[in-house]
Structure formats: C-alpha cells, structure tokens
Structure 1
Amino acid sequence: MGSRASGFSYELFQVSQERDEEVAAFCHMLDVLRSAYPHSDRSKNAGFVWSPSVGHDELHQALGVSVKVTIISEHFREPLTFTCDGSTTVDLLIYQTLCYAQDDLDHLNVDDYLLKVCGQEEFLPKFCSISEKVVEKLTATILDLVELYCSTFNANFHTTAQSRGCTAPVQEAGLVTNVLSFNVYAAHRIPITWAASYEGFFLSCSLTHGGAELCAPQNTSKQAVSKYLFHLVVWDQRVCFPVQINQLPRESQLTVTLYATPLPPPGGAEEKGKQRRSIEALGWVTMPLFNFRHTPAPADFCPQYEFKKLDTISQILCCCVRRLTTDNKRLLWEKKAFCQEESAALPLILASAPCWQWACLPEIYALLRQWACLSHMDALGLLHASFPDQELRRTAVQWMDSISDPELLDFLPQLVQAVKYECYLDSSLVRFLLRRAIGDVRIAHYLFWLLKDNLQDSQFSARYQHLLAALLCCVGRSLREQFDRQCWLVSILTKVAQKVRDATASSRQGVLREALEEVKKFFHLNSSCRLPLNPAMVATGIKIQSCSFYNSNAVPLKLSFQNLDPHGDNVNVIFKSGDDLRQDMLTLQIIRIMNKIWIQEGLDMKMVIFKCFSTGRGRGMVEMIPQADTLRKIQVEHGVTGSFKDRTLADWLQKHNPTEEQYDKAVENFIYSCAGCCVATYILGICDRHNDNIMLKTSGHMFHIDFGKFLGHAQMFGNIKRDRAPFVFTSDMAFVINGGDKPSSRFHDFVDLCCEAYNLIRKHAHLFLNLLGLMLSCGIPELSDLDDLKYVYDALRPHETEADATMYFTRLIESSLGSVATKLNFFIHNLSQMKFASSEECPTLSFAPRVHTAKSDGVIRGLYICSHIRTSNTSKGYAYVVKVERDGQEVQLVQRTFEEFYELHCKLRLVFPSSKLPSFPSRFVIGRSRSEATADRRKDELNGYVWHLIHAAPEVAQCDLVYTFFHPLPRDERAGTTSSKPAGGSLITSGKELGEVKLSISFKNEKLFIMVMHIRKLVSLSINKLLFTNSINQNNHLLLFYNMFLLNLLHEKIYRSVNNMMWCLSAPTSNTSNVCYES
C-alpha cells in the first residue's frame, strides 16, 4: 500500500524548506526533537495507546471508591475477579495477579507485564515520565540556491545580498528612530480572469498587534493591469507609516491586501453602474514584521520592583478580557500590584497594559516574572490572539508543561487553533505539541486528525501543512502506516455514504450492503485498522448484516466493525457525511470538561459522555451508546400524543427495571444526569431540542445528541423562537423524579443538585470563556464573534453571588417545567417523523422490556380471565388476572389492565391491517369507568376477546405481540400485588413531627444573608393539616438579609414567618442549616 498521508507531507516539506529559511530552521529543530525520542527508549516512546487516567487520588480515598476488576488471560482457565480500592496502583494489580497465577515469583519481573482494557487496544499506564530537553539551533540560509536559479534562468528578480558573507548588519530595533517605510514595486502573475473583470488595482497595507491596528492603513495608487511576459500591476511607489520602528511591538504583523473595482456591466448605463460598483478584496497576505530570529529578551534587563501585598480588588476581576472598558483597563493597570493574590487575574492585567512597545516591555516582563505560576487552565487565556508577545506565550506554554496527557487531550483542539496566533512557525507551542505527541500515541492520533481537518482553512493551510509534515516526520513508520489506513478507510466510507444518500428511500438498504463490499475488501488487504474516533478501537472487519442507516436528511450510517479483541463486543459507530461535526465535537468537549469539574469537586452527575470526531469538513464519526432510545420512540409507544402524557418515561424505566432495587437505581441515575443536562445545555445555549435528540438509557441515564444549534442560535418559526424554554425539563421528567404526579422531597433534592452543579461551573467561568474564545477563528458559523461569547458570559453570570445564582437557576427550572412550547415541539416533531416510519419495524408493547415468541415460551393452548383486582398505582383502576395454559407447562397467572389490552389490540391492527381481528370491547362507559360493576362487565367482554384471539389465524394467534403480551412479568410473580409504581417520597406521616426549613446562610459586608431554600412539613396554626400546594415544583428560594454586626449575631435569635408559620434561627449558624420551626 502506498503512503498517502506521509508521502504527500514529506514531499511538501522538502519543497518548502528549499525556499523558506524559517522552514529550514524548523526542519533542523525537528531533527533535534526527534532524536530525543529514540524508538528503543520505552520510557519516552512506548508505542502503546495509554488509557487516560484521572488524578486526585485523595478524592477517591475520601469517597471510598472500590473497583471490581476482572482479568482474562490465556494462562487462566477462567477469568480472575476481585475487588480492590480505587487508589490501588496498576503495579499492585499486576503483582496480585501474578501471585495468583504463579507459584514462583523469583524469576518474574512486574515491569514485563501490562494490563490491557478488554475490547480495546488500550493499556493501563504504570508510570508516566515525560521530560525532555530540546536545544534550538538555527541553520544557515539557502541563498546560494536562489542565486543559482537567478543566474541560470532569465528571472526578472535577484537577491540583494550577493553572498552569505555580505548580508546587511542586524540593527537593534529599539535604537532605530526612523519611521517604517518600504517600496512596493509590482504584483506579478495576475490571473487573466482578474485582468478581464477588474480595474483600478491597489494595495492596502496595515499594521496590527494582537488583532488591533497600530495606525491607519496606507494605500497605493490605483493602477491598471500591464502585460509583459505575463500580467502584472506596477505601482513602484513608497509606502510610509507614521510610526517609528522603535515604537513597534516585536510581534507586529504587516497585512497587505489587493483590492480592485469590478468593470461596469456591458450595455450602457455606465455612470449608473459605477455608482453601484464597490471595491472587492482579491487576496491578502499577513507576515511578521520582524524575522523569526530571537534577539536578547527585554526581561534580561528588567528593573526590580517591590510589590506590596494588599487586598485584592474583585469588582473587575470577574469580567471577560473582551468586555474590559477603557476605564476598567486603566484602573487594573494602576492597581496591578493589588491583584497578585488572585493569580488567575493575570490575563486581565496584561490585557490592560497601555501598550506593547519596546520601551514598555521591561515593566510587563517584570510583572510576568514576579507573578505566581498559573494553572494550566488559566494559562490558556494567554494564548489568545490578543497576546502575540513571544515571551508571554513562551511563559504560558511553560506553565502548561506540567499538564498530564489525559488533561492535554481535553484542550488539544484549542491549542491547535492557538497555533494560528503564533508569529513564527518555530514556536514554544509548536514544540510543546510535537514533544507530547512523540511521547503518547493517543495525542499523536488526535493531533494528526485535528491538523488534517484544519488543512481546509485557506488562510492558515500552509502553516498546518508544515505542522502535519513535522508530526509525520517525528512519529514512527508504524504509526504513519496506521494514519494511511485510516485515511483510506474514511475515503471509502465517504463514498459509501454518498451512494446511500443519493439512492431512493426504498433501495438504500440494498445499496448500502453492496457498497460495504468495498470496506470488506479493505480489510482483506489490511488485517486491522484503528478507527479515527478512538485509537484504542481496532477493527478487523465489517459486519455487513448489522449495518443500516438513519432516516434523516444526511442519512448517517450505522456501522458495526469486528473487534480485534475476541473478548470485546463489536465496535458500533455512526458515520456522517454531509454534516459538519466540529460544532458537536466542541460541545461534547465542553460537557466532558464540565463533568470532570463536577467529579473533581466530589459531585458525580452520572453523565453519559460519548465521543464525536470530525475527520474532515462535512464528515466524521460518532460513538453509539448501547441500550438507549430517543424520547420520541419512548413517547410514541403511547401514541402520537404521548409527548403530552406524564407517565411515559416512568413506565418505560419500570419496564426495563422491574425490581424495586433496579428501579430506584435507575431513578437516581435519571435525577443526576437530568440535572447535569439541564445545567450544561443552558450554559451552552443548546437549541433545536426535540425528542429525537434527547436519549434515555435503560439504566436511567439521560443525555443529549445532535448539537447543530448552540450559543442561543435557535431555529425560528417566522419571528417566534422554536426553543422558548431555558432548557428541556418537562412534566414527564418531573414525574420520574417525584415518583408520581404529587410533589415529593426528591424534587427539592433535584433543584439543589442543579444549583450546586451550576455554581461549580460558574467558578470556572474564565476557563470556558477561554476555551470558546480560542475557537473563534475555527470557522464554526455559530461561534464567530464576541456576541457568541457574551451569551455564555451572561449564562454563567460570574458577577453574581452563589445565593443570587441559586435563586436565578431555580426560576429557570420553574420556567422550563411550566413551558407548554416544549411539549408542543415534541408533538410537532412526532407528526413530522411519521413519514419516516418503516413498515418493516414491528411495534412493541410499552410495558414489555423484551420480545417473546411461541418458540421460546411454548404454544398457548388456552386463555381465561378468572378475576380482577384493584391496582395500587395512581390510576386506581383494575387489573385482570389471566390464566395462561401452554403445552407441557404449568398454568401461569398474569395480570393486565384494560389499557394494556387496548394497546395490544391497537398494535395488532398496525401489524395485520388486512387480517380479521376479534372486536375489542368499547372503551366508552356511561357513569364511573373504574367501578366494580364496570370491571365485572369488562372481564366477561375480555374473555370473549382473548378466546377469539387465540383461535384466530395462526399468523395472528402465534405472532410475537401476542406471546410477548402473555409472557409473565416480574410483577406477576408477586402474589397479591399489581403493577409496581415508582417509589416516591411520602408526603404525610403519622405522629407529631417538626416542620423543616432548609436555609443557606452567609455573612458578608456586615450583612447577614439567609436564603430559604425549601420548606417541608409545616403545619398551619389555624387549620391542623399539611400546608403543601399541588404544584410539582414546590421551591421556596427566598433571599433575606439583615444589617447587623457579626458579634451581635452571636447573641441573636431571628424570627421569620413563612406560610403563616413562625420559625426561629439561633446562633451559631452554619453555611447550610435545617431549622425546625417553633409555633
């Protein structure tokens, strides 16, 4: 197989270094860097895909985490399973395993063994040591080659320096007082199409630093196209900027833009056409004003200042860099010494520097040297385009050097974008990325695909081509071959997806299976291939029969690959072609970082984090989550109006978690994951939320997919927003949380959980603004200007206190729960998706978790409804006890409600529209429909129905729907009970109990702040019964404050009346208290 990726990059690299002195020096740096990582040194170049690990061992110890480990080996007859502490090292696990497997350990070395994750080519690291020292050496220029070209060919240019020894002397920029000026002669090789379509060509030259203009742009005169050997525009004039060279920052950029005016349209009205014509930019180039060679850093002669330790100023420090006003900047720079205790404020201080001229740098560098080291999350803020200074960026990269490889992967997309803001190809950031890629296969893998994706950026494609070539030069041959295979596989899958999308709806499955034969041939030629989605996923083939597609606009493919590990499941992924996945990739990255912050703070939100990766513009892979359905599929089991019913999610979870223990665990997972989704989707402004891009696992975990709209860019129906609620939180979700349609204490816990998660993310507001800010130039349409960042800033509300933020988010929950628009959106989407319903899909019963057949259960010989009993669930109806007789088996008793019989009948009509079915008893009842008399009458009618059903045509009587309906459920095995209902908190208890008020108390600026969070079990003084409204979201977040001194507070009792009740708070107080009331 030919080398596709690597061969192209090597050739490009060789051509580039012959023409560019900077690239030649960059190549030499790569040689030095690569030599520091020999393939024989396993400590620096292991060649394995290491499993990402999370630090904070003390957190695991505090939480008492235990891990169940199962080890499979060809040396064991059966798997070895044991439980160990979460802080146990991998070395110790290997040693324990060897002790079990071997009698004599004297001749064994633990370092010779590794633990591999089952199902993936991923190994658990025993240690991580990455320390390298790279020496930078500049190589000589290659002017000789240019001079040889000029003397050999009839070139109309020549080099100014006739030999290397005659180069002009380098002058100290700080000593040059002349203004910046240069000659502009001509623009050569003007395309013929431009010459025939434009007139009045001119150049506009501008000076910028960190994106800000240093002075007004300077323009040349307008000239027409001339023709000699080729078309060119000749100006031959001098451009002069009104700024002295010693006042220019070292990272100043010169941008030259070619403009022209379109020729008037033919056919008269020339004057009118001139009025409508406007100049157009035909091309531009941006280059550093100073060369890439490093001169003595101003930090070497910085004056020393004595910084006094004063109280920090916090009024402005919560602002975003881009929201600083002129007055804010002036105040911060004057009081910069006061902010030393707030190390994360450094980006704000540096953004407030009055200028970055040569004379100002000593003061800036002195501040930089005396500032405390930033964390790697805060150091990201110094890599923005607004900070082009090389010494500053070198320091930021140095602070990030301690970041672990798993943490680096979290920020890798932003660091790749930050390369755009480097003035020179050989920079500290580029060296850092290449050095870490050499030492870790996973980083090298994702860096390769990120660089390859950015080759489409026309403005920076040359730089990313050089970096991609450098990466391929540094990694080994084996990894380069893996990249070639992955590119080949992606190319084949792209063609397959295009064929399926172009085919008619009825023929797509056949076209897919035929096109996948090319993938099968690929695996015949290549024994295995790592998937771009995850380098630990190694496929050896394709399961064509298990592959299908989704009925959506882009027609994504559902692919099933054969796993290299025989103990692992098939690798199931979604391949999309025609959708830009970069926005989904960024959204999931931010949510993954949020989840890590929650976990590090001891709050496990039980989030489902899946992988999504773009392999080029308009294509990519998404990880499939098993045992999960969309909310639409769950809701339409109760009909097209299922979105308006409250029991749909609870019934579905009950169906898949029949025991009380399983259901309670599923509800817990639902509460936590639902809270996490509410917080994450609100902060990121996730829009276009319908019930087909919200999914629920059978284990209760809820998660969102398809992030095509974010940062508040909602779809519009005319002038009306489609997403009108702050986030998706509906009454069927509240039904699961409360355990019914009555309020419970679990809803208060849910609100507290949301507010706690929200406040934890607010503490890291600068991190998320930095992550999104670094992506402003990546080309995502909905993340392109400062207004998009302002949306996240306003959502995080960093200027507010935790108490205010808690009240604010509580109101958002109430607003979302009370929004009718969300359910209406779901219903409209249900209607629109009816046209995609496949006739081949057999409907299932909403209360049966699995499908059963006559072959698996045995043929039914008789059905008889012998009695009916009252159910204990909220419907207060009756369940009918059915006696089921099968061949060669004991008689079974199952319990089914009238509504479940009706659901069976409706779905039989869908499956057998042309078959004769028994008539179903009427649902219309005069009088009380749930009375004893009605139940008796329906029992007789249902007996007639089931008798005719079992004696119907064989395709009806023995269909899977019928046998699934009469298969025993766990609820049938519990004698004397009916269908289990979700366990909810009890609202009324016997005996005398004190009421409870949950408070959050803080003391600030001589004021006592008391937030009334929740009130429970308050008994009225006037009427002796529980005060509790029927609202499903009973939350009493009320903020009170008192002007008093802390010393007085210690001797005070505070009385407050709530809901006609008097409660008392006595000092000493704590941050959060449960207070009993006094009547």
Structure 2
Amino acid sequence: MEPFTFATSKQLKLNVCVRIQNLEGQKPAIPYSQLLKNPELKFVGSNLSPVSDLYISAQVYGDNKPLGVPVQTAYKSFKASRTWKEWLTLPVRYCDIPRSAQLAITIWDLGGPDKEVPYGGTTVKLFDTDGTLKKGRQKLKLWLDVESDGRTDTATDSTVESNDEMDRLEKQIKKHESGEIPRIEWLDNLAFRQIEQIQKRTIKRTTEHFLYVDFPRFDFPVVFCDFEYPTIAALAEAAASAAENGIATPTASSTSHASVTTGQTAVAAGSIPGEPIPAPVDGGMIRVYDPEAAREKDNPAELKHMNLVRSQRNGPSDRDLKPNARIRDQLNDILKYPPTHELNPDEKNLIWKFRYYLTRDKRALTKFLKSVVWVDSREVRQVLELLPKWAEVDVDDALELLGPAFTNHAVRTYAVARLKKADDNELVLYLLQLVQALKFERVQSGDNNSESSLAQFLVTRASENETLGSLLYWYLAVEMEFKRHKKLYERVVFEFMHQLEAATEAPERPKRSMLARQAQLNKTFNTLAIEIRDMKVKREKKIEHLKSYISDPAHGLLHFEPLPLPLDPSVVAVGMIAGKTQATPDPIIIRESNVFKSTLSPLMLTFKTADGGKYPILFKNGDDLRQDQLVIQTFTLMDQLLQKENLDLKLSPYRILATSPISGMIQFVASKSIAAIAREYKTILEFLKHHHPDPSAREGVKAEVMDNYVKSCAGYCVITYILGVGDRHLDNLLVTPDGHFFHADFGFILGHDPKIFAPQMKLCREMVDGMGGIDSMHFKLFKSYCFTSFTILRKSANLILNLWTLMVDAGIPDVEREPDTAVLKVQEKFWLEIGEEEAIGRFEVLIGESLNALFPIVIDRMHNITQYWKS
C-alpha cells in the first residue's frame, strides 16, 4: 500500500475561505397577468434585467447554530453574466469548526426601495462524508426565492442530483485540476473544446440555477480531527505503559482538569502519580485530562525536533565531548537555575549533548533528568547507565528527585539511596515532606502491594529510632484522615506496625504499645477538649472541670508508665517512678492546668518529665494546625542551616504537632506579647530590665539577655519575610523574660494578609526601642545579623524550595489557595536573580521601609482597641 500523507483540521489555523465564481441560470420572464396581481414584483431587479445587480452573503453554521457573523461580496455591476470571482474570508478558523460545519450562501436581489429579497440560497457541507475537507471547484444547486437555512437537515441542500453527461465531466475536471488525472496537453485541449460544446447545449435546455464556488486547495488532504476522551480501558493501558518508562502523569498542580459526570462510572486521566485509577468522588464527578492545558509542556513538534537532534548525538563519541569556554559558561548558568525553572528545548539538548562531561558535577543530575525524553526507551536506558556513575548529589537534589516530576522507579530509588546516608537528626527535619512524597510513588504494574523504596526506607529507619517512629506514626495518622490517599497510607502504617512487632527489643527502638498509649492519650485529651469547648459556662467553671477530670482515676491521667510525648518524643513524661509501683504525685500538674480564653478553649496541661523538669503543652480541637506545623518545621530547618554556618540567632521555634486535621498539640512557652508588655512595662527594654537588670550595662540589661533579644529579632525578621507570614500585630509577637523574641499564630503565609497595605516584614518601633533605639549599637548589630542570615539562607534556597514543592499537595490552606504559585512566592523572596551585594542592599532598604511604614502603626492601634473591647 502506498503511503498516504494528510493533515488534520486541528493543525489548520487559517480562516474559512470561499471564492464566489459565477451564477449559472436565468429566471423565466414573469407573465403580465402575475404582475397585475402583485405590482411589487416589477421592482425586483431580476424581473427587469437578466443581468441585474446581485450580492452574495455567506455564513458558517455548526450543529444548527451560526458560527460567527455573515460576510458579503462587494458591489459589482454585471454586463453579460453574473460573475464575481471574489474571495470571502469568514471569521471562523478551520481548526475550530465541528465535523457538521456547513456554509450557508444566499444570493440577494433588490426588491424595491430599501428592501432586499432572496434570489436563492444553498447550503454546502465543508467536510465530505469521509471527513475530508472539501477543496477546489464546487457546483452548488441554488434554491430560488428562499434564504439558505444552515440547518443539519437543511431544505436548501447544495447537492446536485443529476446523471447527465455534464455533471460527470465536471467531476473529471476536478480530478484533473487536483492532479489525480495526468496532464496530456494535446489531449486536454481537444477534451476541453468538446466539453465547452456540451456545456452550451446543457445551458440552453436546463431551467435550474447553479452557483460555482472555489474552496482553497492544500498540498495534502485535510482530515477532520477532534480530541476524544479515552475509555477506562484505554486509560488503564496507557497508565501501565507509562509506568514501565516512568513517564510523569499530569497532576492537579501542573495541569488543568475538567469535571465530567458519568453516572456511576468514573475515570481520571491525569490522576495522581503512583496511584491506581481512582474511584469516582461524591456525585460521580471525575477529573478529565485537558490537552489544551498541557500543550506547552508536551509539544509534539518540540519532542520530534528533540528526537531528531539527539538521534545524531547518541554515539560513542559523546563520551569524549567537552564544551568550550563559551558553552561551559552557558552550562554553569543552567546549573544555577532554581528547581522551579523550566528548561527550554535548546537548554535540554545542550545538557543531553554534554551529559557524560556533566557526570562529575553533582548539581547537574536534576537538570539532566529534566532533559530526558522519557517516552524514548533508548534515552531511558542511558539514564539507567549513567545514574550509578554520577557524582553523589546533595540532600536538596535528592528531595527534588522525590517530587511529582520524577516518577521513574530507578530515579526515585537512587534518591532514597542518597537519603539513607543522612543521620536521624537530619531526617527528622525532612520527615514531614518525605511522608508527602509517598503520594508520588508510582505503583508498579497496577499492583497495590508492590514495594515502594521510599516507604521501605521510612519504615525501616522509623522502626530503629523512637523519635522518628513517633513522628512518622502521627504524620501518617493525619494523612489517613483524607479519603484521597487513605489506602496508600494505611498500607505504610500496616508495614510499620508489622516491622515493630518483628523488631528486637532495644531501648532506642519504638514499641507498638508506646504508640498505642500515645494514641489513647490523644483520644482522652480530644474528648476532654470537645467537652470543655462546648460547655456554656464561664471560664472559671471550665478550669474546675478540667482539674476534676484529671483528678479522676477512671481517666488514667493520675499515673502511667513513662511515655515519650507525641509533641516531642525526646521528652519522656513520667507518671510512675521507674522500678517502683508507687505513682509519682501529680504526673500532670493539676494546679498548673488551665483553659485559655478563646473561642476554642484550648487546654493547658503541664507534664512532669523524666529529667525532673516540666513540659507544658496546649491541646486544641477545632483548628487545623498543619499550616502552623509546616511553618515551625521550616523555622527549625532554617535555624539548623544557620547554626551549620556558626551563626546562632537564639531562635526558639516551639513545637507543633497536628494529630488530626482539626486537632493537635502546641508547646507552651512562658512569654508575654509586646502588646501586654506595652501595657504593663511601657517598653520591651523595661520588661528585660525588670527580669534581668545589670546597672553596669549601657541599657541596664544583662549582656546575654540583650544578645538573645537582638539575635532572635534578626532571625525571625528574615525568616518570616521569606515565608511571607502575614497578620502580624503586637499580640502575636512574643518575648520571653530571658530575651528570646519569637512569632506565634501562622494562619496567613505566602504574602496573604487580612490587612491592606501590610508590610513585607514586621519590624515595629517597639522592637527597635527594645534594642536601645535606631541609633544604638545593638540596632546596627541587628542589621548585620539580618544581612548575614539572609545571605546564608539564600545559599540553601534550593533545599527550602524543594521541601515546599513536596507540600503543594498536602492540603495546607494558604498553599492550596494558589498551588501553582505557592513555591514561586517563596522563591521570589530570595532574589536569586541578583548578586549577594545587591541583595544585601535591597534588604537594607526593606528594613527601612518596614520601620518607617505608617499604616502598620495605625493597624496595631486599631487592633489594640478591638482587643480591649473584647476583653
């Protein structure tokens, strides 16, 4: 069979065109008797002259509806025949018309002063019965004295139903013009003369009217093409095929979806990577992959070009390729791109070309994997060959490889192998994100019981360390509350519990019974919190009820075996002295129990610890603490990054643990808000003097306390700026008696703020006055700490961005509000596009703007008045 070349209508971005050629046929003369009955007929132009003035209008219809406005021919005066030879361009493109598209053509005649009457109309389909776009000369039957209707079951069909010789010859002429019949000049001339004679005889005896038009001719046949949604079987087959090559499936954060109702049947093209095709959500709504949204990402023309370019660069000679100085600089610029940067085709081809040269650079691996055409099995084989030879990547790149963009099993296994080298303390910093990364693990071959390298790694490490085990259990418990990934996390919990049962007894290993007791303690607190919150009594009565509840032996809070607290597993609460049967008095210190004045009435509970100290916590029900938990985790990570560079800014990120989507625990830190300090001590400096006076010091405060205050102010100003923490006022800026400044309440992040004209960074006059004023030496130190910490954190921007990328699908409120731009909002705060000196200059300007902003002062005053009247 000979090859057949064609184009699709979706590729044709041209407007629909038609050339009006000529009208064939004349109306018979109207009898005088008919003119007497209807005198208006004598004003119709075609009744007065056989070549009267006419004009033609054309309009595209589809599925009985007009597609665009009609277009008409220009005025033309006829002499011997009605011939226009004019192209009409309609305001509709071929790629946008449906399979049923028709062209409605009407010829209009003059019917008197300011009056038009239809001379005749015809409706022609733009596609043949086989779906091919019509082209070339068309002979259309004209229905006299009616306007074309454009309906699917049109009454003005253009089809010429005739078997005479002239119709047969016209079809052959069309084939001759399109090249289907070979051209023989001497024979063609003879044939055309004979056809002209036949045509003259036919015109004389026919009474029908025909309109001749021309459609554009293209080099190839144009076939109608439209996107058809795949069946469930096709989706399952495609998902299985994609899993073999590790092709990333479009996710909700990267592509658009349309909701479709199909009764009880549901499919989801573009479902979550690593998950089987999900069942329908409530109401039978399903998500359907939208090809228009992914067009820029999966451009077939670019993929074809990339394959052609790389097909010539897959030989053994690639191993010896080395870039020149100019290309080396270009490659270095590419490697400096942040993880959110999309590589263009030329950059991908350049990375691929010098892939062997780049194996010595650990920064290049993620860029190389982004440059791979994963549908090409040859390239996938080369990836598997190069991975073991690549320079070992840093943790931030390993975390990027566990994100939604990389679903190849070998790539993710490589990333997990790198994480295995991290110690337990480092792993705690990333554990929250690693639990989220489980959502992107692709289930191989659709087997729900297939192994996940990341899940195995987390289960193994968590079963060997009590802190990791406790935190992993609670992170998984929260995720199991959501239907979307419930089965996935239930499988991981099952494997974790199974491994705990099989593990040998060791002091540092978590025990299943310990996790069960933590869960029971959380359940008890949750029941109590709901009960107290719903009580319609004064706060004093609620506090009495809390203390009596703890005192009741039936609730099991008077004594218990030593238990690592879920909030901080390194802290062991003691309800019984080890080795003795006698319980310690007051394991939860009843006299220090409290109920805070708030709508949710959070409980304050103080535990006695194994080291003889106290550990107060707040328990809340009715509030989603996952966003606060993420912010505090980022604070802790940034504090560790700064300390690695020998910069201790005395940060004190308190702990938060969400135990469900609506409840959780918060570490209580004894402190006062700046608003309370202003009421009681007037200034922060007086507050610090009261608790730690030093008459010999310039400000009258002990040097270490002032050092705590200045450094912690600098650290929190920088970190809250980077994360875009909003809704800052003097009631959620806190200071401890020993000078540690910190923020609380992170209900607004990433630049969201309920107040208008909110500053990018919260630095108020009260904070600066606590340092001794704007001209003090401590304020200059504060600025230098800000510059140094911001510079250090800029160097670790990729790690922070990759961690936040893994949280895009975690259901965090302010991230979920704008998932496509959430990480970019964090990135833009680092000013990665400029140098270090310029960044420091910008930050100094930011400090000045924050300090001199007038509107935040007004907002703080209004907030204080509001709080006063509430109290």
Pairwise TM-score range, normalised by the shorter structure: 0.5 to 0.7
Pick the aligned partner of 2:440 from 391, 396, 421.
421
How far is 1:333 from its partner? 3.8
Instruction: Name stretches of at least 5 consecutive residues in structure 1 with no aligned partner.
Output: 1-180, 186-201, 225-231, 242-247, 263-278, 285-300, 643-647, 838-1079
Change beyond 3 A, Cα 1:308–1:532? same
Matched, 1:698 2:737: yes
How far is 1:707 from its partner? 1.2
How far is 1:472 from its partner? 1.1
Which deviations, in whole Å up to 9, do the C-alpha atoms of 1:291-350 show, x marking residues without a partner? Answer: xxxxxxxxxx99783353763533333333333153444444445456555422321331
Q: What number of residue pairs does the alignment pair up?
A: 572
Which deviations, in whole Å up to 9, do the C-alpha atoms of 1:50-105 show, x marking residues without a partner? Answer: xxxxxxxxxxxxxxxxxxxxxxxxxxxxxxxxxxxxxxxxxxxxxxxxxxxxxxxx
Which deviations, in whole Å up to 9, do the C-alpha atoms of 1:484-509 show, x marking residues without a partner? Answer: 11111111111111122222351332
- Cα distance between partner residues in 1 of 2:703 and 2:620: 37
Pick the aligned partner of 1:633 from 676, 684, 697.
676
Change beyond 3 A, Cα 1:680–1:518? farther
Q: Counterpart in 2 of 1:210?
A: 248
- Cα distance between partner residues in 1 of 2:805 and 2:864: 37
Q: Give the AA of the match of 1:429.
A: L
Matched, 1:590 2:634: yes
Q: Give the AA of the match of 1:605.
A: L
Change beyond 3 A, Cα 1:688–1:206? farther
Change beyond 3 A, Cα 1:345–1:555? farther
Paired residue secondary structure (1:622): strand
Matched, 1:832 2:832: no
Q: Counterpart in 2 of 1:726?
A: 760
Matched, 1:315 2:352: no
Change beyond 3 A, Cα 1:213–1:414? closer
Q: Counterpart in 2 of 1:578?
A: 622
- Cα distance between partner residues in 2 of 1:481 and 1:526: 13
TM-score (norm 1): 0.49
How far is 1:210 from its partner? 1.9
Is the CA contact (8 Å cut-off) linking 2:550 and 2:557 kept in structure 1?
no
Q: Counterpart in 1 of 2:643?
A: 599
Matched, 1:470 2:495: yes
Q: Give the AA of the match of 2:481.
A: Q
How far is 1:411 from its partner? 0.6
Matched, 1:788 2:822: yes
Pick the aligned partner of 1:359 from 378, 384, 403.
378
Q: Counterpart in 2 of 1:559?
A: 605
- Cα distance between partner residues in 2 of 1:338 and 1:658: 63
How far is 1:254 from its partner? 6.6
- Cα distance between partner residues in 2 of 1:606 and 1:688: 24
Is the CA contact (8 Å cut-off) linking 2:413 and 2:454 kept in structure 1?
yes
Is the CA contact (8 Å cut-off) linking 1:397 and 1:428 kept in structure 2?
yes
- Cα distance between partner residues in 2 of 1:418 and 1:217: 21
Q: Give the AA of the match of 2:409.
A: Q
Is the CA contact (8 Å cut-off) linking 2:339 and 2:801 kept in structure 1?
no
Is the CA contact (8 Å cut-off) linking 2:257 and 2:287 kept in structure 1?
no
- Cα distance between partner residues in 2 of 1:440 and 1:359: 42
Is the CA contact (8 Å cut-off) linking 1:302 and 1:362 kept in structure 2?
no
Change beyond 3 A, Cα 1:591–1:485? same
- Cα distance between partner residues in 2 of 1:546 and 1:515: 14
- Cα distance between partner residues in 2 of 1:698 and 1:219: 55
How far is 1:655 from its partner? 1.4
* Structure with the greater alpha carbon radius of gyration: 2
Q: Give the AA of the match of 2:785.
A: L
- Cα distance between partner residues in 1 of 2:747 and 2:396: 27
- Cα distance between partner residues in 2 of 1:686 and 1:503: 33
Matched, 1:764 2:803: no
Q: Counterpart in 2 of 1:842?
A: none
TM-score (norm 2): 0.60
Paired residue secondary structure (2:319): coil
Give matches, 1:322-361, under 5 Å: 322-327=340-345, 328-336=347-355, 339-340=358-359, 342-361=361-380
- Cα distance between partner residues in 2 of 1:520 and 1:536: 28
- Cα distance between partner residues in 2 of 1:221 and 1:708: 34
Pick the aligned partner of 2:784 from 730, 747, 752.
752
Give matches, 1:991-1030, under 5 Å: none
Instruction: Name stretches of at least 5 consecutive residues in structure 2 with no aligned partner.
Output: 1-228, 290-313, 444-449, 576-586
How far is 1:557 from its partner? 1.2
Paired residue secondary structure (2:840): helix
Matched, 1:652 2:663: no
- Cα distance between partner residues in 1 of 2:687 and 2:261: 72
- Cα distance between partner residues in 2 of 1:714 and 1:815: 18
- Cα distance between partner residues in 1 of 2:517 and 2:280: 42
Give matches, 1:269-668, under 5 Å: 280-281=285-286, 305-306=319-320, 308=322, 311=328, 313-327=331-345, 328-336=347-355, 339-340=358-359, 342-424=361-443, 425-476=450-501, 479-504=511-536, 506=538, 507-517=541-551, 521-524=555-558, 526-539=560-573, 540=575, 541-563=587-609, 565=610, 568-626=612-670, 628-637=671-680, 648-659=683-694, 660=696, 662-668=701-707
Q: Give the AA of the match of 1:306.
A: D
- Cα distance between partner residues in 2 of 1:590 and 1:513: 35
Is the CA contact (8 Å cut-off) linking 1:556 and 1:576 kept in structure 2?
yes
- Cα distance between partner residues in 2 of 1:575 and 1:218: 39
Is the CA contact (8 Å cut-off) linking 1:204 and 1:217 kept in structure 2?
no
- Cα distance between partner residues in 2 of 1:704 and 1:777: 26
Change beyond 3 A, Cα 1:581–1:309? same
Is the CA contact (8 Å cut-off) linking 1:343 and 1:372 kept in structure 2?
yes
- Cα distance between partner residues in 1 of 2:709 and 2:746: 21
Q: Give the AA of the match of 2:706.
A: V
Matched, 1:813 2:844: no
Q: Counterpart in 2 of 1:903?
A: none
Pick the aligned partner of 2:857 from 819, 823, 839.
823
User: Identity rate of aligned residues, in percent?
Assistant: 27
How far is 1:441 from its partner? 1.4
Give matches, 1:165-184, under 5 Å: none
How far is 1:677 from its partner? 0.5
Task: Provide the alpha-carbon RMSD of the alignment.
Answer: 3.8
Matched, 1:799 2:833: yes
Q: Counterpart in 2 of 1:845?
A: none
Change beyond 3 A, Cα 1:253–1:461? closer
Paired residue secondary structure (2:762): coil
- Cα distance between partner residues in 1 of 2:666 and 2:679: 26
Q: Counterpart in 1 of 2:189?
A: none
- Cα distance between partner residues in 2 of 1:765 and 1:382: 16
Which deviations, in whole Å up to 9, do the C-alpha atoms of 1:569-627 show, x marking residues without a partner? Answer: 2221111111111111111111111111111111111111221111111111111223x
